Amino acid sequence: MARKKKTRWKKVWWEVRYQLACWSLKRLLFFSRLFPLRWAFFIMEEIGTRIGWRLAGKFKKKMLDNLTFTFKDSLSAEEKRRICKESLQHMIKGFVEFTYCVHFYQAKFDPKIEVEGKENLDKALTLGKGAIAVSAHLGNFLLLGAKFNASGFPFSIVIKEPDHSGLAQILRQARKKAGGRAIHLDPPLRCQKEILRFLGQGEIVCFVADQNQKRGGVLVEFLGRVMAMPVGPAIYHLRTGAPILPIFILRKGGDRHRVIIENPLGFELSGDEDRDVFTITDQVTRIIESYIRKYPGQWPWVSKRRIRTKTRRKTFQEEGAPSL
């Protein structure tokens, strides 16, 4: 009986938190139409970051622990604190930018995003198989879809929506107004069909591939830990032949951004699907890790990053792959 009461109260608290989140987000989206962006940046950057840092608590400890695990003794304690504060600042500014680009993307954001390596994308799309973009939660990655779609390149990002239907609907509408397009992971069958359809139409499908998977990944080393990394880019590359391009967006300073489009990745494939999935996933992970290490202050180090063992191929063990 006590367990049932506890479960019931957890459900009530879960619903209350999400209702508060929905109410808060609606108010922010409304006031962003009236409040000047430069004022919002100043308030959130100067005041929000300071307050957020003081109230970070366990999240601050988690960020510092993750940095220590990744960089070991190559960073001083002061450098780690500086990266954590910078990361928190980027997350706050990114959220503010999202609420404003819903109403003012073309006027206030698009002119301030420069693209480097567009020729790499043009070359990849000439194959007629679409393109698989791989990216990370680096910089304000939410602006990627709006920038590419506004530039005439149909771009869809594969995402998992919040479990709460009300919050998911608000975010879906906001993303659409800002010019972004999404492919939702659930239900899985529809997600697979949409990915294949968009690639078949010569469009860009983006996977944000820097998070540990609860299920469906393959074990590779990432930022010093063995983790189950997403296999989506590898699976759809093998199935369609669509080239894989690393694409990242980085903050240059203030409200300016730079999109970097790398050359399509090349792989030495063996013909064995499990081995090839591992090879591609490992290579994708390596380039994502290189960008995170180069720009650590633009990545959210609050990720739990716990190891999961429900991998896509439990029986497959690549020679030389790190083991748990």
Please say whether the dihedral angle defined by the alpha carbons of residues 320, 307, 163 and 143, taken in this order, is positive or negative: negative
Q: Are 245 and 264 in contact (CB under 8 A)?
A: yes
> What integer pLDDT is reported at residue 148 of this predicted model?
94
Burial environment of residue 73 by CB neighbours within 10 A (0 to 12, 13 to 18, 19 or more): exposed
Dist CA 116 CA 127 (whole Å): 21
> What integer pLDDT is reported at residue 5 of this predicted model?
52
Q: Residue 138 to residues 3, 18, 24, 156: CA-CA distances in angstroms? A: 41, 26, 25, 17
**In this structure, is residue 320 part of a structural domain?**
no
Long-range CB contacts (< 8 A, 24+ apart) of 188-193? Answer: 191/158
pLDDT band for 202, please (50, 70, 90 cuts).
very high
Q: Which residue has the higher pLDDT, 121 or 63?
A: 121
Mean pLDDT of 212-225: 85
- Token pair 């659409």: residue: 176
CA torsion 283-284-287-293 (nearest 10°) is -110
* Domains of the chain: total: 1
**In this structure, is residue 2 part of a structural domain?**
no
**In this structure, is residue 204 part of a structural domain?**
yes
> What integer pLDDT is reported at residue 324 of this predicted model?
34
pLDDT band for 318, please (50, 70, 90 cuts).
very low
pLDDT at 45 over 90: no
Q: Residue 215 to residues 173, 212, 229, 303, 310: CA-CA distances in angstroms? A: 29, 9, 9, 17, 5
Q: What percent of the chain has pLDDT over 70?
A: 90
> How much is the mean pLDDT over the chain?
85
Bond preceding residue 300 cis, omega within 30 of 0 = no
pLDDT at 1 over 80: no
> What integer pLDDT is reported at residue 250 of this predicted model?
95
**In this structure, is residue 258 part of a structural domain?**
yes
Highest mean pLDDT among 88-92, 210-214, 258-262: 258-262
Q: Are 60 and 84 in contact (CB under 8 A)?
A: yes
Give the lowest-confidence range in 116-120, 129-133, 242-246, 266-270: 266-270
**In this structure, is residue 12 part of a structural domain?**
no
> What integer pLDDT is reported at residue 137 of this predicted model?
92
**In this structure, is residue 227 part of a structural domain?**
yes
> What integer pLDDT is reported at residue 311 of this predicted model?
52
**In this structure, is residue 318 part of a structural domain?**
no
pLDDT band for 57, please (50, 70, 90 cuts).
confident
Q: CB atoms < 10 A from the CB of 55, how many?
A: 9
Listed in sequence order, the DSSP H helices in the chain are 2-31, 37-42, 49-55, 58-71, 77-104, 118-125, 143-150, 165-178, 188-200, 232-240, 273-294
pLDDT at 255 over 60: yes
pLDDT at 317 over 60: no
Domain that holds residue 266: 18-298
**In this structure, is residue 314 part of a structural domain?**
no
pLDDT at 237 over 90: yes
pLDDT at 133 over 50: yes
Q: Which residue has the higher pLDDT, 216 or 317?
A: 216
Mean pLDDT of 288-315: 74
pLDDT at 321 over 50: no
Q: Residue 161 to residues 16, 90, 119, 182: CA-CA distances in angstroms? A: 18, 22, 32, 10
